[in-house]
Chain A
Amino acid sequence: MPQQALTGLKIVELAQGVAAPYLGKLFADFGAEVIKVEPPGVGDEARTLPPLTDGVDFPEASGLFAYLNANKKSATLDLRQAKGAALAERLCRGADVVIENFAPGALDRVGLGFNELSRKNPNLIYVSLTWFGQDGPYRDFKGGDAMIHALSGVSFYIGPKEGPPYLPGGYQAQFVGGVTAFVPAMGAIVGRKRGHRGQHVDVSILESNLCFTETGISSFANTGEPGKRHGVNRFIPTYPACAFPCKGGWIGANVLTPAQWQGLCDLIGLPELKENPDYSTSILRLEHADELEPLLAARFLARTAEEWFHLAQARRIPFSLVPTMAELLASPHFSERQSFGPISHTDIGTFQAPTVPFKLLKTPALCGGASPRLGQHNREIHEGSLGLSEAEMARLRDEGVI
């Protein structure tokens, strides 16, 4: 393995769930050493999050956890006990970056806050990645992807006209928070190389997800026109921009400009629609979507999604396949690009998961990797990094610290 872009950086991850571990994952996949500190016994709460493998017991059953934590080292330490916190503090002394997502102020109380750690390690970059940020009236609120989708305005426009608004599935808000936090973390690292010192980076997952709605807020501020929910697969500024069933698979049909609309009408063999003034602009088509939809849907059944995709693109109309997960994993285009890589785990086995979505041609990220069992690297970290003796480790094990 040639030297990677972030080889030599040392990261301590005092974090659980999805967002902060995804941040740690980006470091790990570019070659940084990431030491993940987990509570003894149960480990990171993400070890209980679906998708889970049948026939494997907690804390090793979660494929999601395995994906998020591949290429990291797992060591257990109970940070609620003074001895555990003191050991973590020693780990952080030699770290370039600490990643944490405890409730604001919680780590200050056990001597692992930014002020405490940066006194001994003034170049430390300390990233707090929490649902709502380090201050403000919601700082102690319980979060969750659903809360963020609700409060960020993302959910409001999804779903039927009459409601309810719909929540995007999975952990999407957290992944957005994780990659967002990587930007200031790397900014601080680059800045440090250029003469700046350590930093406390405060990232809010809510604010990270405002990237989707800030344009809507800003348009409203200028025009005073509130948007509304137009129904499932109906949204500003155009129609169609949604999926239709085909002879095989689903085609994503997207049309914005007049040229594309005319191209679509010719493509599907309904040239008379070009002359209909009701459909002449993107907004008018959205208004008449209910009558337009069955006309389009009937034609799309004539060919496979794959055929429509290439025919439309040949006319410069931005169609796409809408692949199921199985179709995605079998896609030759994405296979060729190594968009998915093998994650291996002692108990789960091997499965495919997304690789880092940006390809630095000289210093590529790892493609997949091995994911640690809970405490798999205890000896290396406890004995190697912290210099504990056999007797000390035995005592700490009895006390439940490690």
Chain B
Amino acid sequence: MPGQDRQAAYLLSQVRIVDLSMGWSGPLATRHFADMGAEVIKVEAVQYFDWWRGWDLTQEMIDERMYEQSASFNLMNRNKSGITLDLTSQEGVDLLKRLVKISDVVIENQAGAVLPKLGLDYPRLREVNPRIIMISLPAFGCTGAWREYRAYGSTVEQASGLPHLTGEPDWPPTMHHVAYGDAVAGINAAAAVLVALYHRDRTGQGQFIDLSQVECLFPLAAHGIIDQSMNHTPPTRHGNRHARHAPHGVFPCAGEDRWVVITVTSDQEWQALCQVMERQDLAGDDQFASEHQRKAREKELEAAIRDWTSTREPDEIMQALQARGVAAASVRAPYELLEEPQLLERDFFKWLDRDYVGTQLHTRPPFRISSGMRDIETPSPCLGEHNEEVLSRLLGLTPEEVQKLEAKGIIGTIPKPSRSSEP
């Protein structure tokens, strides 16, 4: 069970986080902390559980424990403890404040007005624990005219301007399929808290962190933003091509919906590509010798490459070209990644039993550290799973007191949705 027998061997063993966040961004941030050994206490309520467990669930779905079976929730919340507290009750708020008093970090991503209304905003939590680090991650930030505006991942992506930088020049602003905003905000939030933690370790000072999810995407749009500001012209979209290099694109392969990316950034790579395609005629053609020439006749070039790729497997092409120093990669569908050799060889996946699911897939962190990391040890908590453990170990409550809280509905393990959880 996380929290017990915590070895000082973990990098962040002595760090305790009260996690009021829900959905994707905040829970991803605290997952990185949990994987580095911090104690993360996820706080939900039986009246208001994490919307990633499911939203608009019917009573029948609740009876079937659907809220324990969400793959995304279970993926994001491993290595954490889970408790429930009704924060609309004074007793719930008092218990949360007692937890904050003995913790290092509070993270939240509720809509702007929620925490102040509950009496749990930073000024009040700082009174309880002046060393606390608190981070909020609203879409548009904690200041400015739009601070209370609501957003999904797609809203965040739109607001960042990124859709003007993807796709063909004549397309409408083009969205990514996956919601970029949430994941990027989560990683930035983890980074932010670590900087504040380092500062506190040196000075004893806690602080508040204002993170805007939209702003987290601006660096990803840096090429467009800088082009506009520096050259005073709107950036051009190039589809799958490149401003200068050719060939550069996504080519069809044998089979249905199979594709390979091939990019050539030097004359040497162009020669190597021709060798692998066994097109001596192209290799010797002076009209393709320089990048400038290749760019001018890109269409023609692409047709020649398509002829070659369309009868071959993407992996065969990737291997053959990479062996000759040409950048190429198979286009994977996410569901194919379970068999991706590079990920399997690096032990990227781990399966772990989880109540109400059977075995649950996890991805390991995208980083390895020589020592001090915690492996994926415990699955995501069931609703209120660690109520008794956390309240007795950390706050010294007796079993009778815990029972009383349960009888009053302040804690619990079965949802009683009085307010529907809304994404």
Contact = CB atoms under 8 A, between A and B. Distances in A.
Given A155-B331, A163-B252, A67 B346 contact: no
Contacts of A152: 332, 337
B117 interface: no
A150 B332 contact: yes
Contact of B229 (A163, A227, A352): A352
A269 B238 CA distance: 37
Contacts of A363: 195-196, 199, 207
Contact of B240 (A51, A63, A164, A221): A164
Given A187-B12, A202-B367, A357 B198 contact: no
Nearest to A132: B342
A40 B245 CA distance: 25
A111 interface: no
Contacts of B140: 333
B372 A191 contact: yes
B198 A212 contact: no
Contacts of A199: 369-372
Contact of B332 (A53, A153, A316): A153
Contact of A210 (B161, B194, B244, B366): B366
A391 interface: no
A396 to B, nearest CB: 29
Contacts of A362: 199, 205, 207
B15 to A, nearest CB: 8
Contacts of A168: 162, 165-166, 176
Interface stretch (A83-91, A249-257, A272-280, A373-381): A249-257
Interface stretch (B42-50, B88-96, B152-160): B152-160
Interface string B26-69: 00100010001000000000000000000110000000000001
A166 B210 contact: no
Given A146-B263, A358-B188, A190 B12 contact: yes
A184 B165 contact: no
Interface stretch (A72-80, A175-183, A284-292, A382-390): A175-183
Nearest to A133: B346
A187 B164 contact: no
A217 interface: yes
Interface stretch (B281-289, B321-329, B394-402): B321-329
Interface in A146-182: 146-159, 163-172, 175-176, 179-182
A124 to B, nearest CB: 11
Interface string B302-344: 0000000000000000000010011111111111111011110
Contact of B195 (A6, A206, A327, A361): A6
B250 A167 contact: yes
Nearest to B238: A169
B392 interface: no
Contacts of A361: 207-210
Given A357-B216, A361-B209, A324 B161 contact: yes
Interface stretch (B79-87, B218-226, B383-391, B411-419): B218-226
Contact of A323 (B159, B191, B328): B159
A69 interface: no
A151 B149 contact: no
B190 interface: yes
A187 B175 contact: no
A247 interface: no
Interface in A304-321: 313, 316-321
A136 B156 CA distance: 35
Given A51-B223, A212-B178, A142 B326 contact: yes
Contacts of A169: 165-166, 223-224, 237-238
Given A183-B187, A252-B154, A360-B207, A321 B192 contact: no
A330 to B, nearest CB: 10
Interface in B359-373: 360-363, 365-372
Nearest to A326: B228
B177 A235 contact: yes
Contact of B189 (A151, A217, A233, A358): A358
Of the listed residues A203, A323, A354, the one surrounded by the most CB atoms of chain B closer than 10 A to its CB is: A354
B172 A354 contact: no
A53 B226 CA distance: 10
A250 B199 contact: no
B212 interface: yes
B230 A53 contact: yes
B234 interface: yes
Nearest to A211: B183
A243 B234 contact: no
Nearest to B325: A142
B5 interface: no
Interface string B98-110: 0000000000000
B127 interface: no
B422 to A, nearest CB: 6
A351 B230 contact: yes
A222 B357 contact: yes
Contact of B322 (A142, A190, A340, A359): A142
Interface in A336-379: 336-337, 339-340, 348, 351-355, 357-363
Contacts of B219: 22, 175, 179, 354, 357
A329 B197 contact: no
A119 interface: no
B128 interface: no
A211 B366 contact: yes
16 contacts: A142-B325, A142-B326, A166-B166, A183-B367, A194-B201, A201-B368, A211-B186, A215-B72, A217-B334, A229-B177, A250-B172, A313-B150, A325-B164, A333-B144, A358-B191, A358-B216
Given A166-B239, A252-B163, A337-B144, 13 more contacts: A50-B244, A147-B263, A164-B251, A170-B224, A176-B187, A187-B11, A208-B367, A211-B183, A212-B183, A243-B163, A250-B173, A254-B152, A322-B161
Sort A-B residue pairs by CB-CB distance and give the 5 closest, nearest first: A252-B158, A157-B177, A191-B11, A186-B194, A207-B366
Interface of B: 8, 10-15, 24, 28, 32, 36, 55-56, 69, 71-72, 74-75, 135, 140-141, 143-146, 149-152, 154-156, 158-167, 171-178, 180, 183-184, 186-192, 194-199, 201-202, 205, 207-212, 215-216, 218-231, 234-235, 237-240, 243-244, 248-252, 257, 259-261, 263, 322, 325-338, 340-343, 345-346, 348, 357, 360-363, 365-372, 422-423
Interface of A: 5-6, 22, 26, 30, 50-51, 53-54, 63-64, 67, 132-138, 141-144, 146-159, 163-172, 175-176, 179-184, 186-191, 193-196, 199-204, 206-208, 210-223, 226-227, 229, 232-233, 235-236, 241-245, 250, 252, 254, 256-258, 313, 316-329, 332-334, 336-337, 339-340, 348, 351-355, 357-363
